[in-house]
């Protein structure tokens, strides 16, 4: 939904992490070069000079990604996949850490290009920003009526610390039984008659990585089944393709994942 704090959340996250932030508003006429950057002629130096696009930041908020043309979407997703931009044969590495938050508004007018499944699969997690609880919303109206909420956010990390933390995540241990548990959950989505396409092996990798991050945040160097349960819907639901009948009945892929968790024996 518009106006529920998505932009403010992304800016707050970037500020707290001490990261450089950039925002890209998608429209149908946005070109790939508007995302990646382009070579421009420098008259004084008599040479082409690369002018980096908005993708050159630590945290990029891509607003309304489904308004961009498929060509522009795929340019963006290529940056995400390769962590670099190639323009006229020259490769420019993107900053590290590099993270993309994309938004998609559910209230749709004409002229949108929904991301194909293969591209949705590039996103690690999906979450839906609902409306806040009434008491929280009332508090927010009092707190934020006349100040900038971002200015209040303390800077608690730096890009180098974020990088170090993600190296630390890689060292978190996953027992063989837990990997089998994840495969059980993935298989249950594949066997679900409501799905045209269940969760891929890549989504299983995404789920394990996210669970490892949760374990580290909780101060453990090993994953427990609860870490997987907590993040499974966010890591898997957006990568599942429902069958036509399920779509007509407005089944939610969130329910498919919840049922798969329910049906899989916890090690």
Ligand X SMILES: Nc1ncnc2c1ncn2[C@@H]1O[C@H](COP(=O)(O)OP(=O)(O)O)[C@@H](O)[C@H]1O
Give the angle subtended at the CA of 187 by the CAs of 182 and 191, to the nearest 5°.
155
**DSSP per-residue string spanning 61-80:** EEETGGGS-HHHHHHHHHHH
User: Residue 42's beta-bridge partner residues?
Assistant: 47
> Distance between CA atoms of 118 and 241, rounded to whole angstroms?
10
Q: Could you give the string, one character per residue 18-47, with x where binding to ligand X holds by CB under 6 A and - elsewhere?
A: ------------------------------
User: Residue 101's beta-bridge partner residues?
Assistant: 61
Residue 13 binds to ligand X (criterion: CB under 6 A): no
Among 96, 138, 144, 160, binds ligand X (CB under 6 A): 144
Region from 1-9, 170-178, 192-200, 212-220 binding ligand X, contact rule CB under 6 A: 1-9
Residue 3 binds to ligand X (criterion: CB under 6 A): yes
CB contact set of 153 (below 8 Å; sequence gap of 6+):
12, 15, 16
Comparison of 4 and 241: residue with beta carbon closer to ligand X? 4
What CA–CA distances, in Å, run from 141 to 24, 132, 151, 190?
A: 27, 11, 17, 44
User: Contact at 8 Å (CB) between 169 and 212?
Assistant: yes
Among 111, 116, 132, 267, binds ligand X (CB under 6 A): 132
Residue 13 interface partner, choices ligand X, Mg ion, none, CB cut-off 5-8 Å depending on type: none
Query: Residue count at the site for ligand X (CB under 6 A)?
Result: 11
Residue 7 binds to Mg ion (criterion: CB under 5 A): yes
Comparison of 7 and 187: residue with beta carbon closer to Mg ion? 7
Region from 2-10, 156-164, 184-192, 218-226 binding ligand X, contact rule CB under 6 A: 2-10
Residue 66 binds to ligand X (criterion: CB under 6 A): no
The token pair at 57 is: 């930041």
Residue 144 interface partner, choices ligand X, Mg ion, none, CB cut-off 5-8 Å depending on type: ligand X
Instruction: Give the binding site for ligand X (CB under 6 A).
Output: 2-8, 132, 140, 144, 149
């Amino acid at each position: 939904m518009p106006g529920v704090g998505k932009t403010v959340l992304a800016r707050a996250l970037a500020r707290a992490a001490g990261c450089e932030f950039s925002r890209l508003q998608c429209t149908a006429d946005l070109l790939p070069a508007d995302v990646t950057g382009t070579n421009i002629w420098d008259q004084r130096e008599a040479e082409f000079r690369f002018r980096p696009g908005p993708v050159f930041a630590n945290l990029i908020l891509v607003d309304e990604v489904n308004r961009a043309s498929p060509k522009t979407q795929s340019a963006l997703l290529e940056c995400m996949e390769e962590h670099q931009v190639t323009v006229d044969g020259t490769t420019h590495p993107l900053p590290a850490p590099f993270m993309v938050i994309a938004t998609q508004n559910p209230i749709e007018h004409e002229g949108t290009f929904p991301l194909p499944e293969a591209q949705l699969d590039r996103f690690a997690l999906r979450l839906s920003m609902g409306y806040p609880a009434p008491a929280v919303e009332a508090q927010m109206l009092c707190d934020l009526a006349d100040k900038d909420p971002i200015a209040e956010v303390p800077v608690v990390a730096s890009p180098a610390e974020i990088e170090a933390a993600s190296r630390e995540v890689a060292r978190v241990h996953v027992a063989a039984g837990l990997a089998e548990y994840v495969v059980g959950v993935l298989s249950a989505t594949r066997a679900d008659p409501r799905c045209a396409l269940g969760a891929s092996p890549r989504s299983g990798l995404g789920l394990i990585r996210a669970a490892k991050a949760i374990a580290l945040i909780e101060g453990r160097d090993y994953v427990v089944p609860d870490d997987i349960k907590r993040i499974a819907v966010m890591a898997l639901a957006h990568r599942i393709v429902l069958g036509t009948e399920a779509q007509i009945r407005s089944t939610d892929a969130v329910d498919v994942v919840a049922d798969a968790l329910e049906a899989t024996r916890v090690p």
